[in-house]
Structure 1
Amino acid sequence: MGNDHKESNHEMQKTKQKKSTKSMNPLQSVGLKLFVYIIGGILACVLTMGILAYNESKKIIETKVSQSSQQTITQLAVNLDNVMKKYDDITLQILVDSAFHELVDTLQSSTLGEYEKFEATKELSNKLQSIIFGNDNIAGMALIPVNNDQLSIITAGNSQLSKVESLLEEPWIEQVQELGGRTLWLDSRANSLTSNNTMPSFGVARLLKNTSSSVAHYILLLDIPTKGILDELNKVSLGEGSQISVVNEDHNFMVHGDSASIATPAAFALDGSEHNSVSQSIEGIGDVLLIHHKLAFASWYLVGSIPVEELVKDAIVIRTLTVQVAIAAALIAILIAIIVMLTIGKPLIQLRDLMQEGAKGNLTVRSKIRKRKDEIGQLSDSFDQMMTQITNLAVQTKTSADAVLTTASVLTDASKKTAISAKEIAVATEEIANGSTSLAVEAERGNDITLAINDQMKQVLASNEQMVQSAYEVEQASGKGTAYMAELIDKTGQTEEMTREMVTKVDALKDSTRSIVQILDVLNAVTKQTNILSLNATIEASRAGSAGRGFMVVANEIRELADQSTQSIDVVGQITGRIQNEIVETVEVLSRAYPMFQEQIHSVKEANHIFVNVQQQMGRLIAKLEEVMSSVKALEASQNVLNEAMSNVSAVAQQSSATSEEVASLSAEQLNVSDNLVLLSTELSQVSTALKETLSQFKV
């Protein structure tokens, strides 16, 4: 093992020496880094100043050009507004022309013939044609009827009827009518609006209302080529590469130098303000300075675009000068770097070579740089002092290594003897710990069983207490039931007495009813006798003549009273008969109910007897449960004593097991310490040998 360790130390030392003898990478040289830092710093300063100057001059040029171009665009927008105002004035002139409206009324008249209407149509066309002759920028005009089948389309100039008819379905027709006489500017199209001409044009439309009747029969449409507006734009130039165009609110070109771009989307976007100047980057073109101004009549924008590259081409001189200065600065930086490399890099290389010799083991090397008083000279002196101190340290270390080697041998022998003793102690302690552990396990098992029995006893005790409580509750309920049954027996007896009395009273009522019937029979006989007497009195009165008239009246009254009595007796007899029948039915019901009351009394008495027996049985059950509870409590006390004893046994067993395990752990730890001590002694011996061999390589 010691030989292997020595060989590995030798290999490590050889590897370190090989690494130290490798030549240094030139890219990692301090001189080269200083060279790069100097050139980089100078070039960075020069380029930064040049770029800042270029950008500042670029901003100044853009600002100045933007201001001057904004004025130019504004003036051009005023000129375009004047041109477009002429077209608006033309439509207004026709709107207020009374002769025009008279001709339209002539066409509307139903009394005139076709020839007069033809003449009126021809005269309207001539009026439009004369306006076109007076303005070269109007290609054609058309009058489009509004919701009137009697009127036809009238054209002038280059306008064609078929082309105008194709416009009737477009939405701008309704828009013109909604404006109520105000001008509507139609967006430019790639071809003519009212003819087959391929020249781009835009339109101006107005609803022609009669000034007197406020009725509109025609829409006036002017077809205006964009060439006239484009000629105005070409009169102004914003510089080389610049372009002026007109776009609508949707950023589609209305007027453009390339006719193919009419009605196509522009590559730029405007912010919607009245006028503004802004720089934008357009794909395929680059950075462009945009100046726009909104026209007064149509919702269009006059836009001028100037390439930024053309604006700042004069500033390229600054960029060229910056490059030239950078080249000159690079040459100066190279010269400074060469001087720095000779005065700093070369001495550092010499010190590096001396340090590599020292790393190989040659502690006798010393620096030859003596005359310099700067930091490099101080570094040279510090190197010599370091090598002297390392030499002294190597001598002292060699002496100490010899002493450590001797001590390590003695320590190794003592450690081996201690390790053998520790192994024997560890084996004995392990056996004791195993026995204590088994005892603790058995005690713990017994303790668990005792605890389980204790829990079951507690459950039995709780169940017994619940049974006792339930028995008490049942006994109390039985007592209440017995009291309720006694009260029910009393009330049932009272009900029986009342029923018996009711039967007696109903029988008496039945006899009274028979008496009433007999009385009614007597009254009925009296009434019949009264009728006979009344009849006899009437006969006697009639015999008496005039002297018996008063008596006849009395006899009639008596007869009528007898008749009423007979009727009343009959009614009372009927009512008495019904009462008698109901009394009979009541007697029958009471006769059937009386046996049922007797049976109910018998059942209540039997239920009362059952409740009394239940109460007596529950009393005896409570006594037995109390005896069982006393026995369970005594058993619980014994179980608690057993549980406490088992807990003490388990605690003692666990403490014994823990003590044994602790002793075993200490013994094992002592054994590990002894083994480690042996290993450390061996390693110390090996390290001392290796240190001695390593120090032998240095030259002192």
Structure 2
Amino acid sequence: MKGTLSKAVSKLSKFWGKARDGVSATDMKRLGRQIGLQNPVRSVGTKLLLIFFASIVPLVLVIGIMSYQISKSVIKNKVADASQQTISQATDKVDFMLESMENITVQIMSDDAVADNMTKYKDKSLSQFDKLQTGQLVSNRLKSYTLSNNKIADINILPLSAESTESYRTATPAKDDVYKSDWFKKIVDGDGKAVWLPTKKSGYVSTPNSFAVARVLRNIKSSTVEGVLIVELKTNALKDALGVVSIGEGSEIAIVGKDNNIVFTEQGGEPETPYIIDVNANIAKTGETSSNFETEKDNESILAVYDPIARADWLLVGIIPVGELVKDASVIAKLTAGMVVLAIVLAVLVGIQVIRMIARPLVALRNLMTEGARGNLTVRTKETNRRDEIGQLSASFNEMMEQITALVSQTNASAQEVLQTAAELSEASKKTSISAKEIAVATEEIASGASSLAVEAERGSDLTGGIGVKVGHVVDANEIMETAAAEVQAASRKGADYMSELITKTGTTEDMIRAMAEKVEKLQESTSSIRKILDMLNNITKQTNILSLNATIEAARAGAAGKGFMVVADEIRKLADQSRQSIDVVAQITDRIQTEMKETVGVLSEAYPIFQEQIASVKNADDIFKQVQAQMDGFAGKLQEVTASVRELQDSQLVLSEAMSNVSAVAEQSSATSQEVASLSSEQLGISDGLVRLSGKLERLSDSLKESLSKFSI
């Protein structure tokens, strides 16, 4: 695809160069001379040509490339599906062949002749010659299986270890390392299960370059393990099982193991060497045991298809270069290149035709407009017979030139009349200007006197206003003070109420503390009574101990008859001891309670004088709040009297301020009237001067307009 596109791009470049040279040499240069441009690329026709080229050619190129990519993807997917089916069918054939080989190993295990002779071989009474004959019978029986199946290279039975002498063996391995190899341990660990071994260059027992199926051999009659049965197979067996398998031209079929080493391939790959791609890595990555994937090998894209051979835990792999799959899609690439060339030719032809139909009439019309801009109003276009937009534009151009010609003629006549009117207006403006100057001088004198009066009245009004503002501030301050005094008075009353309530509650607290102290003293007296009772109980306990001791002595004297009484006396003594212990505990608790009561009485005794002092302080605070309340009542009354006097002063100031405002208003009105008259006089004077200037300017403009109109030829 890359080579095809490169050739296509090369052809396009050559064609575009020829087309560009041809157009530049003929139409572009001629068009440039007609429109007077040094660079023909700036013309509308060239731009339209480039637009056609840029809109058609890339679209065709993109569609062609997309078609190629889609067809390439479809072909690749279809071939991948077909190859997957082919590989799956070949896998079934290989599985069938492997199953038949496993069946042969089962037949050998079930063969009575093999089992009997191997049992006989273990008979210790058998002579060496008989053992030799017995072994030969087993070997001959195994050879019969080899001769009956051309896929089998050799069949051998090996003991489980190299030191074994009782087990029968058909061949002696070349090295004892066979018993230490991983594949031999794998067979032994299989415990009778068929184990497939990949192709090995040196072979396993006797046949080089062979693969094998092996299992632990059990005697079906005695159920004893006789050794390891190894059936070595020719690699042609895999070739025959696969048959003629091909997934396309240049494809390759191989069987690889879990370690990615080659088991079989027809393309010359050596067994026990890694395959060119790692299929097992893709399985570990995707988790798909039967699938296909695309990879890179030697800068070439390869499609790999694989399917597992279940019995041998191998993979049947088929690979094919992607380039071989999609080579038929190159026709689309060639067709795309042809369509691009055709699109270029079409774009160039359409662009040239557009230049002839649009650019040339536009250039002619532009040249006519240039002549009209230079003053030649007699130019007209001859393209009015066309019915398209160019014809409409030409007709509109001719109509515009007709209207401009009529407008220039009418303007020339009007300019003559304006010139005469400007001269008359200039004379009248000069006379008006002289009269306006005299009126302006008299008006300015009147306005000066009115302004002085207005200034004095304004100053008196400002002073009166300042006094009013200050009086207002005083009123506001008095109102704020009155409000604050009311709030302080209310707070004083509220504080006095709180102090009265606090005195009441403090008295109640004093009574409660006094009652608590009395109750604690009574409780202390009660604990003293409990202490006396405990002393009495303690004495009773001591007397009980003495009595129990005496009873014990008397019971001892009584001998056997007093044993029961001795037990009773002993129990009484124990009860007396327990009572004494309980009395001691209660005495300790009573002592602790009595001690805490004494401490409580001490604390209450210390707190009572403090409460007495607190009550005295609260009463003093209550007296202070009452005095503050009385003084605040007197202050609020005085403040109300001051507020009333300030309000009377504010009313008087308002009357004075209103009078001064009236005087100031009259003065300002007189001054404004005088200034307005002066302003009108000045404005009239300015207007007169302006009329003189405008008359001169109008005269100059009339001369300039006449000179400009003289440039047009009608």
Measured against the shorter chain, the TM-score band is: 0.5 to 0.7
| Aligned 8 A contact 1:139 1:159 in 2 | no
Q: Is the 8 A contact 1:143 1:154 kept in 2?
A: yes
CA distance in 2, matches of 1:497, 1:194: 114
Residue 219, structure 1, aligned to residue 233, structure 2: no
**Residue number among 503, 507, 511 corresponding to 1:479 in the alignment:** 507
Cα deviation, residue 244, structure 1:
1.5
1:280 is matched with 294
2:215 is equivalent to residue 206 of structure 1 = yes
Change (3 A) 1:252 1:282: farther
Tell me the amino acid that sits aligned with residue 627 of structure 1.
Q
Tell me the distance in 2 between the aligned counterparts of 1:490 and 1:75.
114
Q: Tell me by how many angstroms 1:130 deviates.
A: 6.3
State the partner residue of 1:378. 392
> Is the CA contact (8 Å cut-off) linking 1:108 and 1:151 kept in structure 2?
no
Q: Deviations over 1:78-101 (max 9, x none)?
A: 442343234323322332234444
**8 A Cα contact 2:157 2:227, kept in partner:** yes
Matches within 5 A, 1:31-50: 31-38=45-52, 43=57
**Whole-Å Cα distance in 1 between the matches of residues 187 and 475 of structure 2?**
107
Structure 2 CA distance for partners of 1:36 and 1:489, relative to 1, 3 Å: closer
User: Which residue number in structure 2 is paired with residue 229 of structure 1?
Assistant: 238
Per the alignment, do residues 214 and 24 of structure 1 end up closer, same or farther by CA in structure 2, a change over 3 Å counting?
A: farther
1:183 — aligned with what?
194
CA distance in 2, matches of 1:36, 1:622: 107
Q: Indicate the SS of the match to 2:316.
A: strand
In structure 1, what is the Cα distance between the partners aligned to 2:517 and 2:341?
135
Segments of 5+ residues of structure 1 without an aligned counterpart are 1-20, 503-596, 653-680
Q: Normalising to structure 1: TM-score of the pair?
A: 0.53
2: CA distance between counterparts of 1:164 and 1:36? 81
Structural mapping, 1:533-548, within 5 Å: none
Task: Give the letter aligned to residue 380 of structure 1.
Answer: S
Superposition deviation, residue 41 in structure 1: 6.0
2:564 aligns to what? none
Question: Which digits, 9 at most, give the CA deviation of each residue in 1:592-638, with x for residues without a partner?
Answer: xxxxx9xx9xx99x999998897577546423322213434665788
Q: Partner amino acid for 2:192? A: G
Structure 1 contact 253–266 (Cα < 8 Å) conserved: no
2:383 is paired with a residue whose SS is coil
Pair 1:328–1:148, CA change in 2 (3 A): closer
Q: 1:339 aligns with which of 331, 343, 353?
A: 353
| Count of residues in correspondence between the two structures | 517
CA contact (8 A) 2:122 2:167 kept: no
Q: Which amino acid counterpart does residue 218 of structure 1 have in structure 2?
A: G
What is the aligned partner in structure 1 of residue 622 from structure 2? 622
Q: CA shift at 1:380, angstroms?
A: 1.9
> What whole-Å deviation, never above 9, does each CA across 1:423-470 have from its counterpart, x for those lacking one?
x9xxx9xx99x999x999999999999999999989977986686466
Structure 2 counterparts to residues 551-630 of structure 1, below 5 A: 618-619=618-619, 621-630=621-630
Please tell me the root mean square deviation across aligned C-alpha atoms, in Å. 6.6
Distance of 2:332 and 2:81 partners within structure 1:
23
TM-score, normalised to structure 2, is: 0.52
Match of 1:245 in 2: 254
Secondary structure in structure 2 of the residue aligned to 1:259: coil
Separation in 1 of the partners of 2:512 and 2:70?
A: 116
1:280 alignment partner AA: E
Letter in 2 for 1:259: G
Aligned counterparts, 1:343-422, within 5 A: 343-355=357-369, 366-386=380-400
CA 1:214/1:158 → structure 2, altered by over 3 Å: closer, same or farther? closer
Q: Deviations over 1:542-600 (max 9, x none)?
A: xxxxxxxxxxxxxxxxxxxxxxxxxxxxxxxxxxxxxxxxxxxxxxxxxxxxxxx9xx9
Other structure's SS at 2:196 match: strand
Matching residue of 1:657: none
Flag the 1:142–1:285 CA change in 2: closer, same or farther, 3 A: farther
Name the residue aligned to 1:575.
none
Q: Contact 2:72–2:329 (CA<8 Å) still a contact in 1? A: yes
**Identity across the alignment (%):** 28
Q: Hey, what's the Cα distance between the residues in 1 that align with 2:160 and 2:468? A: 116
- Are residue 255 (structure 1) and residue 264 (structure 2) matched? yes
Rounded to whole Å, the distance in 2 between the matches of 1:71 and 1:341 is: 61
Q: Distance in 2 between matches of 1:215 and 1:457?
A: 124
For structure 2, list consecutive stretches of 5 or more residues without a partner in the other structure: 1-34, 434-439, 441-446, 530-597, 655-689
Change in Cα spacing, 1:329 to 1:633, as seen in structure 2 (3 Å) is: same
Indicate the residue corresponding to 2:546 in structure 1: none
In structure 2, do the counterparts of structure 1 residues 634 and 324 end up closer, same or farther at CA, with 3 Å as the change threshold?
Answer: same
CA contact under 8 A between 2:154 and 2:232: conserved in structure 1?
yes
Aligned counterparts of 1:258 and 1:455: Cα–Cα separation in 2 = 117
Give, in whole Å, the separation in 2 of the partners of 1:328 and 1:371: 35
Partner in structure 2 of residue 266 of structure 1: 277
Greater C-alpha Rg: 1
Equivalents in 2 of 1:639, 1:196: separation in Å? 136
> Do structure 1's residue 298 and structure 2's residue 298 form an aligned pair?
no
Within the alignment, does 1:87 sit opposite 2:101 as a pair? yes
Work out the CA distance in 1 between the residues paired with 2:708 and 2:497. Answer: 101
What is the one-letter code of the residue matched to 2:390? I
Flag the 1:254–1:636 CA change in 2: closer, same or farther, 3 A.
Answer: farther
SS in 2 for 1:27: helix
Alpha carbons of 1:640 and 1:300: their partners in 2 closer, same or farther (altered >3 Å)?
farther
Amino acid at match of 1:240: E
| Whole-angstrom distance in 2 between the partners of 1:396 and 1:641 | 91
The residue correspondences of 1:418-567 to structure 2 (distance < 5 A) are: 468=496, 471-480=499-508, 483=511
